[in-house]
Every structure is written in C-alpha cells, then in structure tokens.
Amino acid sequence: MSYVHCNQCGHRNPPDSNFCSSCGSPLDNLADRTITLTRVDPLQDSPATDDDVVVPVGDIEPGTAVLIVRAGAQAGSRFTLKDGGVTQLGRHPDSDISLDDITVSRRHAEIEHSPEGYVARDAGSLNGTYINQERKDSGPLHHGDELQIGKFRLVFFERTDG
C-alpha cells in the first residue's frame, strides 16, 4: 500500500484519501509537491515542536528510491537506494547507509531492489527492523512507508514517474 503524506501536518494517510485524517487539509498526489515530515521525539514518540524535515518530491530523480531520515541524529539526511541490487544498512562504517547509534546493529538490515519492487530484510539485528511500526523479518516497501532501524525513523519515497 502506498501512502499519501499531508503537506500541512505530515500525517500519513491511505492512498485513496482526499483529505488528511489528522488535520483535514486537502491531499494531492502530484510529483511537484513538497512534503513536511514532522519530527518525532524518539524518547516520547510525540511530535517535536521545531526542525521539521521538508521533502521536495520533485527533487527526487525519476526512477529512483530514497530513504529520508525523519528522526534521529541524522534527521533530514537523504539516502539513495541501489537500483537492481542490495543496499546494506547498519552501524558498520562499510555499510551503504551508515547509521551511527548504539541502537543499530553493525549489520542491521538490507533493502533489495528487484523487478517486483523494494524489499526490506532484517539481517539478524538485536533490536529488530520495523515497517510501519510492525516488527518484520522481511517485507515490501511502498511509497510513504516508515522503516525504523534502532532509533532512526526513515521514510521510503519512490518516484516512478518521468
């Protein structure tokens, strides 16, 4: 399922929504929009009051997928995923996406891109890998999904249009 983020409050809504279920603002699905991801306090899981992450969707190259850090020390960082291969995530400096925090295992997770789409897999981490707040050993990623690795919350964006 692909989610639509609200431009006003950053709330994730089902793909067929016309209005945000949190604030009531109208939603759109245009590639030239900007999305604001409200930062989350990792200790209390409540919205922070400043430093929201702004994502200009039009800046994402067509045909690519990215992970954007929503919370954690690297909030706002953008990581492009490998096209047709495996992207490794973890605390180890040789990881494709290095997430430097003790809550992240050295070899925490990987994301594989195949013709069917992107799939996230836990690599035997101690704290687990979560897709949309649900612990998963493996699962597909769709536009707007949240991937949690340790205290890092990353939002998956895939731009398939040209």
43-95 pLDDT tens trace: 545 444 455 666 666 677 777 889 988 866 678 888 999 888 899 999 999 99
Instruction: Select from 104, 112, 60, 121 the least CA-distant residue to 85.
Output: 112
Euclidean distance between the first and the last CA atom of the chain, given in angstroms as a whole number: 21
Report the amino acid identity of residue 104: V
Residue 116 binned pLDDT confidence (cut-offs 50, 70, 90): confident
Pull the structure tokens for residue 90: 């973890």
Measured CA to CA in angstroms, residue 118 lies from 55, 112, 144, 147 at distances of 20, 6, 13, 12
pTM (global) more than 0.85: no
